Structures are given as structure tokens and as C-alpha cells.
Amino acid sequence: MTLRKSLYALALFLTPALAFAHPGHGDSGLMAGLAHPVFGLDHLLAMLAVGLWAAQQSGAARWVLPLTFVGTMLIGGLLGFNGLEIPLMETGIAASVLAFGLLVAVAARLPMIVSVALTALFALTHGVAHGLELPELASPLGYAAGFVVATASLHAIGYALVRFLPRAAAPLVRIAGAASAGAGAWLLAG
């Protein structure tokens, strides 16, 4: 299968995500957790962008940024399970789509501490949202495992797209980042 066909297949697979809202992905904790990051457009774009941005980095940042996101998101999820709400949570999630999209669009290489702090801040908002949307009767452990696996997988997909595409495709990655940033601006305005 060619790269183009693979990308078309991936796009086709992810297209139904636009039709789903966050809650109500079924009764299974694991399945609901897997579905939440994939079927919420804001989460999907942010998770992919973290992988894209990490792949644009050098050295330890390539693995520190995704691990920071997943770890902090899990902490946020646990806080959400316990009912903690943070102010402007949805705004923070939309802002993460905008910010990560812009970081990818300009292939930003910030100081590690700034990159980690920014990643952790946005991951916390996503995690609390995941935790607050735990479906009734779902296992919190299964749900958390699901959203961790889905998030890490989306990071890996974004990372792989950058690392395995030919160098000549770098402008396409930046365009994808700009499109994500545009979606983030649209989410913020809505």
C-alpha cells in the first residue's frame, strides 16, 4: 500500500470522529476511554499535534513531550474522577488545539522547561475533561487505560507521520499544524 493510500485510509477511518460529541461512547470503561480522545475533534487534533510537534524536536524532547502529556493527562483524569472541575476547562482544551497547531506550523523549538510546562498545562485540561466524562457504570480503571492508550497512539501516529515522511513533505506537516490552529481558533470562537 502506498503512503498516499495509507493516509487516505487513515483519514477515512477518522472521518466519523467529526459526528461524535464527547460523552456517551458506551458502557464499557475501556471502550469509552479509547473512544473519547478519538471521537472528540478537539482532543483528536491536540493529540495528533503533540506527536507532530514532538517529532519536530531534537533530543530528549521527542519523548519527553508525549510522556509529559500522557502522564499529566492521567493525573487530570484522576482529579476529574473525583469531581474536580477547573475554570475555563473547555477554553483550555480549545486553546491547546490552537497552540499545538501553531507550534507545529512554525516548527517551534522552545526551551525544554517551557515546552514541558505548556504541554503539562494543556494535558491537565484534557485529563480533567476525560475524568469528568466517565460514563455511569464504567470502570474508572478501564476508562483511564482506554484514554491513555488512545492518546499515546494518537501521539505515535503524529510522530510517525513526521519521522517517516520524506523531508520534502515537511511543508505539509506545517500546513497540517496551521489547519489545526485554525480549527482551534474556530473552537475558541464557538
Is residue 18 very low, low, confident or very high in pLDDT (cuts 50, 70, 90)? Answer: very low
**HSE toward the beta carbon, residue 184, CA cutoff 13 A:** 28
Query: Of 112, 134, 121, whose CA–CA distance to 46 is shortest?
Result: 121
Q: Of residues 111 and 10, which shows the higher confidence score? A: 111
Q: What radius of gyration do the chain's Cα atoms show? A: 16
pLDDT of 5 > 90? The answer is no
Q: Residue 87 carries which DSSP code? A: T
Work out the pLDDT band at 168, boundaries 50, 70, 90.
confident
23-40 residue pLDDT tens:
444 456 899 889 988 998
Output the pLDDT for position 27. Answer: 53
Structure confidence by residue, pLDDT tens digits, 50-82: 999 999 999 999 999 999 999 999 999 999 999
Per-residue pLDDT of 105-115, as tens digits, reads: 999 999 999 99
Q: How far apart are the first and last CA of the chain?
A: 39
Top pLDDT among 18 and 166 is at 166
